[in-house]
Chain A
Amino acid sequence: MSIDQGALRSLIEESADLQSDALRTTTRGLADVVEQGQERRAAGGVDPDETRAYHMERRHLLATGLKGMGALAGTAVGVGLYQMFTQPAFADSAMDVQAGQTAASIENLAIAVYTKAAGLPFMKNIPAPAGPTVVAFVTQTIQQHTDHAKAFNSAVTALGGKAQTGLDMTVYNGVVVPALPTLKTPLDVVKFAATLENVAAETYAAETAAVSDKMLRSTFSSIMGVEAQHVAVLNAVAALLAGGAPQLITIPPPGDKLPAAAGSVGFPNSFYGLDMARPAAEGAVQ
């Protein structure tokens, strides 16, 4: 059972072409972000009631989200940190700009984590066909997160904000740094990556309903499902690694040899959760 690298590359190239089409659509949408933002500012900016309701909801989400995130990552999230996060946003810019900057910071963090993980010795030595398949996935996923970061930053700058080139330091310091030393196997890495992807997907799903700018909403909504797809793939890969069947991690998979549960392990919920959504201001440019 060997992976057809040529076919895999071809598939990735095809997907790159397809995503370029989608990127053009999003880029067109970004032009409207400018107009929408300008209109909102011309109308007096953010509605105080809307902002208050927004932050109340985000605090509620976060109250449960951090607990879940800490448990998933196997790291401690201190009480002080928890209380700090559940306070109203501390940044002073418009909430849509903050949300876009936070999204960019999450994307930047994902890129950094994938890049770091790919360099770990045990990740470089996964036997074929799983090894090359995982490498191809990581490479393509980094590119997609790069596209996402650009899209969010384009939206932010179009709204008059400053592009976020840094990381979400709250997640980095509170979750990533403590977790990195615990990553000992490919399975550890895959499960941790799935957690971060879930954070991204849930944050964007929450922001899709929370932001007021129509086209910023379009940006969030066009990305949330892609992160969820990353989660589905990582869940499936993790299950196969945990089950001692790395030889089944290939494209295409040997369908007749996949265990029944492999058909459902990638998408455990009927409805995507919002509990791990990050606060809108967490990754805002200070």
Chain B
Amino acid sequence: MSKRRSGEMQISERELVSMTGDLDEIHRATMPALHDAAAEWSEQLHDQGVATVKAVARTTSRRGFLLSAGAVSLGGLVLAACGKSSATTATTTGGAGTTTGNGNPFTGDLAVAALAASLENLAVATYQAGLDAATAGKLGAVPPAIATFATTAQKQHKDHAAAWNSIITNAGKSAVSGVDLTVKNAVVTPGFAAVKDAAGLAKFALGLEDAAAATYLNAIQNALTSAGAIKIAATIQPVEMQHAAILHFVLGDYPVPDSFAKTDGARPLSDMIG
């Protein structure tokens, strides 16, 4: 196991990369379940007459599913202790057929999809801001593992946004290209300005990941009604929690702090999107 021990850096980057060499294949393997869930949801939307569905998601190509993230614009980032965060709020506004104000033009499960897409867009933008700051040397020395984390997590958030937007567009609506403005204005913009180093960036990102995971959990438990929508959220929430675990680890915290995931910090449907 440690026959090559000697210097500070015995581990080979190539070895680690080879261990993850099947990631693309594994990732592709997870797509059918997601497509099924999307199809199920779209069919339900069609049946309900919620939207003029042009085609069910079963006909959506993987390319189209993922590339719709390209339409996603950037914005800001994280959240952690936004005083307005409340699972209860989301609960009271999340039922099927409910409407939301504040820039979220959708109802029912689609409103949750829009909120989720806006949070994912915000995450994408914030990681980009962090990577840009690191590249510009504004964060001092950035460990390569943190840079890789940010790049990988950002890509996964793009995929998540694309998943939600595929549902929205299959329902005949326009994709959500904006961000959660409530979080951006209250938390991300002022918070990111205070980030001065890699540890600060990791802590900031942790707040965002925690909020995303909590929002999905709250949506599953209290808001979403379609089995397909629940399934999509259930395949994303664990990934956000994995991001959080690695960030906890990097920050020196115990990586799995709770036996049960929490809804604390979940974003409500009343958040502004734009």
**Chain B, residue nearest A147 (CB):** B259
The answer to whether B16 touches A262 (Cβ under 8 A) is yes
Instruction: Check if B2 sits within 8 Å of A218, measured CB to CB.
Output: no
Query: Does the CB pair A226–B235 fall under 8 Å?
Result: no
- Docked-complex contact B238 and A272, CB < 8 angstroms: yes
List of A residues within 8 angstroms of B252 by Cβ: 11, 251-253
User: Does A229 sit within 8 A of B, measured CB to CB?
Assistant: yes
> Residue A47 at the B interface, CB < 8 A?
no
A259 to B149, CA, bound (A): 11
The segment from B24-32, B166-174, B177-185 found at the interface with A is B24-32
B5 nearest in chain A by CB position: A244
Task: Give the contacting residue for B10; candidates A22, A245, A251, A252; CB below 8 A.
Answer: A245
**Interface positions of A from 198 to 255, Cβ below 8 Å from B:** 201, 205-206, 208-210, 214, 217-218, 221-233, 236, 238-248, 251-253, 255
Cβ-defined contact, A257 with B8, below 8 A? yes
Measured between alpha carbons, how far is A25 from B145 in the docked complex, in Å?
Answer: 35
Cβ A224 vs Cβ B234 within 8 A? yes
Contact count band on B: 35 or more
Interface residue B143 (Cβ < 8 Å from any Cβ of A): yes
Which segment, of B51-59, B108-116, B127-135, B154-162, faces chain A? B154-162
User: In this assembly, does A263 line the interface, its C-beta being within 8 Å of a C-beta of chain B?
Assistant: yes
Residue B246 at the chain A interface, CB threshold 8 Å: yes
Q: Does A268 contact B (CB under 8 A)?
A: yes
Closest to B241 in A: A225
Would you give the 0/1 interface string for B134-167, flagging 1 where the beta carbon is closer than 8 Å to chain A?
Answer: 0000000101111111111101100110010000
CB of B231 within 8 Å of the partner chain: yes
For chain A, the bracket of interface size reads: 35 or more
**How far, in Å, is B130 (CB) from chain A's closest CB?**
13
User: How many residue pairs, one in A and one in B, have C-beta atoms under 8 Å apart?
Assistant: 278
Contact present for B259 and A244 (CB under 8 Å): no
Indicate if B3 sits at the interface (CB-CB under 8 A): yes
A109–chain B nearest beta-carbon distance, Å = 17
Residue-wise interface mask of B (233-274) relative to A, using a CB-CB cutoff of 8 A (1 in contact, 0 not): 011111111111110011111111111111100000000000
A258 at the interface (CB under 8 A from B): yes
Nearest CB in chain B to that of A8: its residue: B254
A226 to B255, alpha carbons, bound, how many Å?
10
Given A8-B254, A233-B256, A252-B253, 18 other A-B residues pairs in contact with their CB atoms under 8 A: A18-B258, A22-B259, A208-B231, A214-B221, A217-B221, A221-B261, A225-B238, A226-B261, A233-B245, A239-B19, A242-B16, A247-B5, A253-B249, A258-B143, A260-B13, A261-B16, A263-B150, A270-B155
Q: Write 5 A-B pairs (CB below 8 A) sorted by A numbering.
A: A11-B252, A185-B1, A226-B261, A263-B152, A264-B20
Interface residues of A (CB under 8 A from B): 8, 11-12, 14-15, 18-19, 21-23, 25-26, 29, 61, 68, 140-141, 143-144, 147-148, 151, 185-187, 201, 205-206, 208-210, 214, 217-218, 221-233, 236, 238-248, 251-253, 255-275
